[in-house]
Amino acid sequence: MRNFSDIKEIKKESITVEFFYEECRDRFKLSKLSPSPINPEKLIVDKDIHRPGLALAGYVDLFTYNRVQVFGNTEMKYLNQLPHEKRVETLTRFFSFNVPCVIITNDNSPQEELAYLAEKTSTPLFITPYPTTRFAYFITDFLDDQFAIQAAIHGSFIDVYGVGLLFAGKSGIGKSEIALDLVERGHRLVADDIVMVLKKGESVLMGAGTSLTKNFMEIRGLGIIDVRSIFGIRAIRYQKRVEVIVELEDWDKNKAYERTGLDSRNISLLGIDIEHVTLPIFPGKNITVIAEVIALNYLCKHYGYNAAMKFQQNLDAKIKSNIAQKKTNGLDRSIEYFEHDFE
């Protein structure tokens, strides 16, 4: 079994506010209020956001100024009820910290002092029509994705019946060929050769290709092919949840392979346990069909049916029945009477 614990984890240290705005402008209906271009040196270094109510009120000892600052109804109404001199003092103190950007929710109109000081300190000022709670959910999910742990894995990643199968194994064992066969059978390629795996939240792994290899595969003896051009749009998808790791290895007659499926094996990848299946390779073995069965069996277990456990229950019940009836022959037919259907 391959040890994925030695895979190098990658994590962004920061993203620019400019990148943040370009990615979120259409998604979250962000509009830029600052007339000046966004300072390229303005960085977001934290995945969390901050509501600066206490900071505006004067308590700045624990002010997490390096986060995206969100001004909701509470902050805006507080500023509106302040006299002009006090509002200037409050906002001057606020903008003395190097905040990455300020976002006003609920389409609240910014005070003149807020817009002026944001422009003076080169702090990008944005506005969105979304309510604060909903916008906070959207933006937190986006930032969590940007600062998530990720890793590059050598393998092929296929969506088989809606189940994400990540094929791993040594170079040249046939991962791409299996993936191509699955695509020809109607399944969808996510990534080949290099799979970027990202930890989403605390329990989900998402996989995608790289911008360079997206839609492309390398088949030894043939070369590079474009899956989308050959098989059409139905044959690809850009991202998928990683649900099963299928590890391919050469057949070893001295190794004991799983026979019943009762011992479900998981493997840790980026701190998340993923179902792991080891498939030995030898001539004549139809790995493509087995891969489809792996996906279907995963779906059965996901919806509450475990074939191995059901067989074990039937076996235990049969043993108890034979003991109770004092049977010794052990074997019997699945039906008691063969009707006249001999063809």
Q: Give the angle subtended at the CA of 17 by the CAs of 12 and 21, to the nearest 5°.
A: 110
Is 276 annotated in the active site? no
Q: Is residue 223 exposed (0-12), middle (13-18) or buried (19+ Cβ within 10 Å)?
A: exposed
Is there a catalytic annotation at residue 175?
yes
User: Please, is 334 exposed, middle or buried when counting C-beta atoms within 10 Å of its C-beta (0-12, 13-18, 19+)?
Assistant: exposed
Beta strands in 123-187 (DSSP E): 125-127, 150-160, 163-169
**Side-chain half-sphere exposure of 132, counting CA atoms within 13 A:** 16
* DSSP states of 187-218: -EEEEEEEEEEEEETTTEEEEE--TTTTTEEE
Among the listed residues 193, 200, 240, 276, the single catalytic one is 193
Q: Within 13 A of 137's CA, how many CA atoms are on the CB side?
A: 4
134 tagged catalytic: no
Q: Which of 84, 134, 154, 327 is catalytic?
A: 154
Distance from CA of residue 131 to its chain's centroid? 26
Among the listed residues 259, 326, 333, 340, the single catalytic one is 259
The catalytically annotated residue of 87, 175, 199, 200 is 175
Contacts 24+ apart (CB under 8 A), 80-83: 80/111
Measured distance CA(235)–CA(189) in Å, rounded: 6
| Burial bucket for residue 217 (CB in 10 Å: 0-12, 13-18, 19+) | buried
Q: Specify whether the CB–CB gap between 72 and 106 falls below 8 A.
A: yes
193 as an active site residue: the answer is yes
Q: Which residues are catalytic?
A: 154, 175, 193, 259
